[in-house]
Structure 1
Amino acid sequence: MLLEGKRVLVTGVLTEQSIAFSVAKIAQEQGAKVVLTGFGRMSLVERIAKRLPMEAPVIELDVTNAEQLAGLAGHVRSYVDGLDGVVHSIGFAPQSALGGNFLDSSWEDVATAVHVSTYSYKALAMATLPLMEKGGSIVGLTFDATIAWPVYDWMGVAKAGLESTSRYLARYLGGRGIRSNLVSAGPLRTMAAKSIPGFEKFEENWVERAPLGWALSDTEPAAKAVVALLSDWFPATTGEIVHVDGGYHAVGA
């Protein structure tokens, strides 16, 4: 019961294959009261919410919409009286900014990727700040941005920005007792990954090279790391990136 009595907001649940779904499920199993946010296909998110151990309420949230961000704390208060944890599982880049189009991507499409995938981390933190008066933990999801990957292109740049943003949040929110950390997961066959043209190019290599092996459809290891970072077991850890990738990041060819 790592999260007993805690209140957690989880964004980015779309299907049962989502890392966010596994986070919400494990968080509930560990004692948390969970509230979800969804965007676009709200009826689908609401159906998925019913498949959790306990059905969770769903709030519509477009992280690029200032009005919805401003109203988020009020909506959350309809279900819980505050938050102890926030999970950012949001990312998007237009197709023209992925799949080998790096040199030809327009600023408009790059700006969309950065707004949704990078700036939204800070925006979500500020929107939920009034709910974390006693401190808390913000955890985001990244994909190792220290190197350039095939086909990942501007999403890779956006993730590099996300990793930097997390460090700055750690710096500026630490005085309020709020931690900011990221989990860097290996490739998983989520809806987001399927939308990236050619993403499968390095999946097999990952499975072969990761010292611990890697299951492309198992979101539980990454979700467990998120839940651990939400818990009180990392009270002095912030600005960190925890790799949950079978050890792939640590080995060479």
Structure 2
Amino acid sequence: MSGLLEGKRLLITGVITESSIAFHAAKQAQEQGAEVVLTGFGRLSLIERIAKRLPTPAPLVELDVQNTEHLDTLADRVREHVDGLDGVLHSIAFAPQSCLGAPFLDAPAEDVAKAVEVSAFSYKAVANACLPLLGSGSSVVGMDFDARVAWPAYNWMGVAKAALESTNRYLARELGPKGIRVNLVAAGPVKTMAARSIPGFSELEDSWGDRAPLGWDTTDAGPVARTICALMSDWMPATTGSMVMADGGVHSLGS
């Protein structure tokens, strides 16, 4: 029996450790038949070791989304490993410490600008950089944390995620005529390195399972990874510009 992503060629960004949602998405995608290429930034030697822990060791391409040269050459460098792409996962976000946990009113403009550039504008930048490799029927997926409400400690990253959600809608409008779907997965909290860097966010994690109608395990990224793979597959051909919730149902509650 063939997998859900049999024959698909995917670019997965944002793998840092084995706890990363992107790592679990790459693992699940390979198990469903996809060929995966990873991007990394910073500690490339660490990411190379992590890549070897996938079911099939995946090639790694360096990508700093603030580096114009990296973006301009991305398609050519990815083409060294695959002849095209059927899907791209954008799992990239960053905000200076002043934007997370610290008083919301105190963050300086330059820190907020960096958070929005890396966490929202880069969604467009990566999609655009991959456009020469993407054909009709392909899928771009971004990682979100529901920004329709204000969360404790999330502060300006919440604002950046709201910008990401708007970017998702405009990207869907631009790329739809090319047959490219663009969607976000709004995940519940998962214990990753990124989550640990947010002061006070652990309180939100600890209460999520009690609030979620379906329950929620913050140590299990599997449900989120499977949602990503579903969006990468051919089974959601009419879904674009959407935010698909993978949070145990917390988004549906008033309190």
Bin for the TM-score computed over the shorter chain:
over 0.9
Matched residue SS, 2:48: helix
Provide the C-alpha distance between the structure 1 equivalents of 2:234 and 2:149, rounded to a whole number of angstroms.
Answer: 32
Aligned AA (1:217): T
Q: What residue in structure 2 maps to residue 204 of structure 1? A: 206
Provide the C-alpha distance between the structure 2 equivalents of 1:138 and 1:16, rounded to a whole number of angstroms.
Answer: 22
Q: What residue in structure 2 maps to residue 181 of structure 1? A: 183
**1:226 correspondence with 2:228:** yes
Provide the C-alpha distance between the structure 2 equivalents of 1:241 and 1:126, rounded to a whole number of angstroms.
Answer: 20
Provide the C-alpha distance between the structure 1 equivalents of 2:241 and 2:149, rounded to a whole number of angstroms.
Answer: 19
Q: Deviations along 1:70-119, whole A, 9 cap, x unmatched?
A: 00000000000000000000000000111032100001100110000000
Q: What residue in structure 2 maps to residue 35 of structure 1? A: 37
Q: What residue in structure 1 maps to residue 73 of structure 2? A: 71
Q: Deviations along 1:114-143, whole A, 9 cap, x unmatched?
A: 000000000000000000134410001000
Query: After alignment, is 203-212 or 45-54 more displaced?
Result: 203-212
Query: After alignment, is 41-50 or 200-209 more displaced?
Result: 200-209
8 Å contact kept, 2:121–2:164: yes
The share of aligned pairs that are identical, in percent, is 66
Matched residue SS, 1:144: coil
Q: 2:53 aligns with which of 42, 51, 54?
A: 51
Q: 1:61 aligns with which of 51, 60, 63?
A: 63
Shift in Å at residue 242 of structure 1? 0.7
**1:12 correspondence with 2:2:** no
Matched residue SS, 1:84: strand
Structure 2, unpaired ranges of 5+: none
Q: What residue in structure 2 maps to residue 118 of structure 1? A: 120
Q: What residue in structure 1 maps to residue 241 of structure 2? A: 239
Question: Root-mean-square deviation (CA), in Å?
Answer: 0.8
Matched residue SS, 2:14: coil
List, as ranges, runs of 4+ consecutive aligned residues in structure 1 with deviation greater than 6 Å. none
**1:136 correspondence with 2:138:** yes
Provide the C-alpha distance between the structure 2 equivalents of 1:15 and 1:106, rounded to a whole number of angstroms.
Answer: 30
**1:154 correspondence with 2:126:** no
Provide the C-alpha distance between the structure 2 equivalents of 1:66 and 1:94, rounded to a whole number of angstroms.
Answer: 21
Shift in Å at residue 209 of structure 1? 0.9
Provide the C-alpha distance between the structure 2 equivalents of 1:20 and 1:133, rounded to a whole number of angstroms.
Answer: 22
8 Å contact kept, 1:92–1:113: yes
Aligned AA (1:33): E
Structure 1, unpaired ranges of 5+: none
Q: Deviations along 1:211-238, whole A, 9 cap, x unmatched?
A: 0111011101001000000000000100
8 Å contact kept, 1:100–1:150: no
Aligned AA (1:30): Q
8 Å contact kept, 1:13–1:36: yes
Q: 2:103 aligns with which of 96, 101, 104?
A: 101
Q: 1:190 aligns with which of 172, 189, 192?
A: 192
Shift in Å at residue 204 of structure 1? 2.2
Provide the C-alpha distance between the structure 2 equivalents of 1:96 and 1:69, rounded to a whole number of angstroms.
Answer: 27
**TM-score computed with the length of structure 2 as normaliser:** 0.98
